[in-house]
Chains A and B, each alone.
Chain A
Amino acid sequence: MKKPNDVILQTVTTVISFIIILFSINLFFAGHYTPGGGFIGGLMTAAALVLLLLAYDVKTLNTILPFDYRMMTAAGLLIAVLTGAGALLFNQPFLTHAYDYFNLPLLGETSLHTAVLFDIGVYLVVIGVTMTIIQTIGESE
């Protein structure tokens, strides 16, 4: 098989995937009060990883990011479920969240919310599931 000429794609990808991932993290935190959040952030991170996958191949991606995406899904689910179940300890209904305002160094007054933990779980699940699906189709070829 002729080796495809994808120099441009590979060069651009190396630069752009970082920008996408950074933006996805920005989106993730923006979700606190404005549009964004774990789902869309995770999807965008997954998109960056898929771009890497397209430009290189499964093996290269595994060398760059040696994650087991199934474990990532499980870990994300565990975080999300435990955050929800944490309310049980205080005899509150499931999924009840707590938040308060704190004065943090550098950041000033910041609102900290347990929903962020839940969202981290969602973020990991979305990346994990998307990458598992892509890899399942990709590997068998």
Chain B
Amino acid sequence: MEILMSIVVGVLFTSAVYLILSKSLLRVIIGTALLSHGAHLLLLTMSGLKTGDAPVLLDGVTSYTDPLPQALVLTAIVISFGVTAFFLVLAYRAYQELGTDNMEEMKGNESND
């Protein structure tokens, strides 16, 4: 299962990099969303995928599922949810203001020329 998940993480990261490098702002944002999905999945995978045990730590219990990764992933998901939402609003505002969603046309810096 870990091997499969690692491949999925790899695919997610690859697609994310491809999308982030594209010119359309919307694709870039979808790319960042995929990137954080990949990172979250990695976090869950790296700490070991185990099913069937209860997430408790008592004296004498030797087989248990680590509850921490799920808490971490939930936190990370909430954060990336918020940031993606903000990013979308920002992109929308920028599109209205600048009249383009093409990263190529957003290159210049008026104050430095």
In-complex A–B contact (CB below 8 Å): yes
Binding site for B on A (CB under 8 A): 39, 129, 133, 136-137, 140
* A137 in contact with B78 (CB, 8 Å): no
* A137 in contact with B89 (CB, 8 Å): yes
| Nearest 5 interchain pairs by C-beta | A133-B85, A136-B89, A137-B89, A137-B92, A133-B89
Q: Collect the chain A residues with CB atoms within 8 Å of residue B92's CB.
A: 137, 140
Q: Collect the chain A residues with CB atoms within 8 Å of residue B62's CB.
A: none
How many chain-B residues does the 8 Å CB contact rule pick out? Answer: 9
> In whole angstroms, what is the CA distance A9 to B86 when docked?
29
Q: Report B65 CB to chain A, min CB distance, Å.
A: 14
Which one, B74, B82, B88, contacts A129 given CB within 8 A?
Answer: B82
Count A-B pairs with CB separation below 8 Å. 12
Binding site for A on B (CB under 8 A): 74, 78, 82, 85-86, 88-89, 92, 96
Q: Report A128 CB to chain B, min CB distance, Å.
A: 12
> In whole angstroms, what is the CA distance A20 to B30 when docked?
28
Q: Collect the chain A residues with CB atoms within 8 Å of residue B96's CB.
A: 140
The DSSP consensus for interface residues of chain A is helix
* B88 in contact with A137 (CB, 8 Å): yes
> In whole angstroms, what is the CA distance A39 to B88 when docked?
21
> In whole angstroms, what is the CA distance A39 to B82 when docked?
13
Nearest residue (CB) in A for B77 is A39
12 chain-A/chain-B pairs, Cβ below 8 angstroms: A39-B74, A39-B78, A129-B82, A133-B85, A133-B86, A133-B89, A136-B89, A137-B88, A137-B89, A137-B92, A140-B92, A140-B96
Q: Collect the chain A residues with CB atoms within 8 Å of residue B85's CB.
A: 133
Q: Collect the chain B residues with CB atoms within 8 Å of residue A129's CB.
A: 82
Q: Collect the chain B residues with CB atoms within 8 Å of residue A133's CB.
A: 85-86, 89
Nearest residue (CB) in A for B74 is A39
> In whole angstroms, what is the CA distance A133 to B81 when docked?
11
Q: Collect the chain A residues with CB atoms within 8 Å of residue B82's CB.
A: 129
